[in-house]
Structure 1
Amino acid sequence: MRITRLLTAVVSAAVLLPASATVASPASAATVGSYVALGDSYTSGPFIPAQRFDPVGCGRSTANYPSVLAAALHPKQFTDVSCAGADTTNMTRPQSVPFNGTNAPQLDALRVDTDLVTVGIGGNDYGVFGSLTSTCPGLRASDPTGNPCEKHFDGSVATTIENIGPRVELVLAAIRERSPKARVLLVGYPRIAPDKGYCPDVLPFADGDYAWLNSVEEKLNQTLSEAADADGAQFVDTFGPSRGHDACARGGSAWINGKDQNIFEAAAYHPLKAGMAGVAAVVLKSIR
């Protein structure tokens, strides 16, 4: 989920907004006082209009799921520090981003009175998703109907994902330490590939690797769910609810962009604006 190479092109379309926005509402006290959003590019929303400049290298959209969620919840304070390319280490360490920018350690946004936290993290650890999206498309030609990418990784991805769980558990424990009264939601990853059919023009994996890609995502989401259970956080499944909204979905139903970067819409293999709205609806249902 690392998408740093083309972020330069988005500067001209970006809109400057503060890192923390306060939204007044008569219902605020009865709902959420302070909401903090943490996460990687599946949270920040690179290239989804309108982009923010704080810093621009994070690809943070005003239409990402935390922003949509905040608009529905009307918190007194909403702080979104999600950043493209982030992994679990960037929860406690600064993250260097394009254009000589730096995103502060994301957990620094938490306060003792924070009462809602959403976090979407894990897919960048050990380069899991980045390795798949950079390697699999190039292997399709060697065996279009087979599973060359699965064979290439030879079981190593599943082992790697198992090592992500303890990292996420540490993140959740650190959130709990800084914001002990907060409701913490660990948001999973929506599906990229369909459960049936293929669309190599959009998702150029070999046919047999579609099922494997789904199994990798299911493994990652299961690992995240177990991490949430271990900490007492709430896991929000977006893989199941995104069925029929994968990158192959037609007629505007897709939540996920395919292989083509679109600097005015979404990064390759990343959520579209519709996907952010869909994930926000799933998270909101979990909250309510």
Structure 2
Amino acid sequence: LLVWLSASGIRSWQRIRHLQHRDAAVAPHNPVEGQLLDQLKRIQDDSDRHVRALRLQQQQQLDNLDLFTHEIKNALTSLEAAAENAPTVASTSVKDEVREANYYLDLLLNDERLTMASNDYEFSWVNLADLVNTVIQQNSALFIHRQLVPHLVNLDHDVLTDPKWLRFCINQLLSNAIKYSPAGSTITISWHDHALAISDQGIGISAADQQRIFENGFTGHNGHQTTQSTGMGLYLVKRVASKLNFTIRVRSKVGQGSRFYLIFPASNTR
């Protein structure tokens, strides 16, 4: 009996060790063990997928961090070079580089906030006219420098959303409109049929690029024409939209400008 118990215990121990090797093929001894092995396999597969997704997300965050810090460092390096080459630096140059550094710092911080598991959202009724005017005031120096004219149409409406994140989305879309608009043109911000539209008279976006402009890091043809494009702004706006229950759309023709829409559910507007 002792010999039999010892042999049985050794076989059980060997079988457990065999089960611990995930690639090992194990034949079930009975239907119950077969069901347990199938369940174990499903759990292991789910765990592997989750680990791969986390590793990919971590690598993406590291890549984004490198990108943003590189752009911030470029702005600071430009300031340092200007200070070394002259006893004084024009305030316009300082403001431009500081604005550039703040822009990428804002992208970096919001990218990190979106990645955090906690839901840092506070929904309230937001007046679009007030919010858009605030964003325009923040970009007033760029409007003046580029001689651009903001045109507001029918914005006396309220939407139920997080005001901080909506301001971020509007600021990103407005920054793109400013970046690609010719001097002296008009940027129109309007409300129609539960959608906030930001339109420019810029260079437009090709049909091929429109399919990918919301992807992480995609700059497209227009992005290659400027050194100020990272392909992250629209990607982050898309992520915010998916979390706050509104959608983003684009209509554009090359040479005729672009129009971006933030479309809200009817129940979230008044």
Which category of TM-score, normalised to the shorter sequence, fits these structures? under 0.3
Q: Which has the larger radius of gyration?
A: 2
Greater RCO (CA < 8 Å, at least 6 residues apart): 1
Q: TM-score, normalised by structure 1?
A: 0.26
Q: TM-score, normalised by structure 2?
A: 0.27
